[in-house]
Amino acid sequence: MVHNFERDMQDQNLNSNFEDKDNDEEEYVISKSQIKREMNALQDLGKKLIDLKDNQLVKMPITDELFRAIKESKNITQREATRRHLQFIGKLMRDQDAEAIQYALDEFDSGSQRFAQATHELEVWRTRLIEKSSAVVTEYVEKYPKTNVQYLRQLIRNAVKDQKNEKNTGAAKKLFQYLKDNSKSHEL
């Protein structure tokens, strides 16, 4: 009788272990379709990287190997070779931080929320600098210490002068462009 009791306990332990393995596998199983969707998304991200200009591509958080592959893809003209190379780039993208790359790409995409937010922030700076120049210049220089203060003040003076004379010589646009370039140089 004791022997049967021990066998029953062993059977129960085996069954519970088997059930635990099934539950663990169900939690970690990803469908083949999901894997394909993820790979296609990485490939699409790779296409966007190929379309970037060289000066934009340098700013991307990618490995040297992926950088070289993207540069090579610009020289490939045959359709099938382009498709295969794009798959290769998709494969290299698996080892990359896709979220960081997408975040960096949004900086160049005028339709993205990040681009709109950055543009809005620069427009606010421009407006504040034109309206209350001396106090805001100090605040701006504290945020962006590499700023050429003399040139910034000159741009502000020209923009204020345009506003007073109700002319549009493009001074406000030049000020905005300087603010944009200056903020990007501080990101590097």
> pLDDT per residue over 117-163, tens digit each?
888 888 998 999 988 867 888 888 888 888 888 999 999 999 988 88
Give the whole-angstrom CA distance, residue 12 versus residue 2.
Answer: 16
The closest of 70, 109, 120 to 93, measured between CA atoms, is 70
What domains, with CATH codes, occur in the chain? Answer: 32-106 (1.10.60.30), 113-187 (1.10.60.30)
Query: Whole-model pTM?
Result: 0.54
CA distances from 148 to 36, 133, 152 (A): 50, 15, 6
Per-residue pLDDT averaged across 49-77, rounded? 89
The closest of 143, 38, 59, 65 to 103, measured between CA atoms, is 59
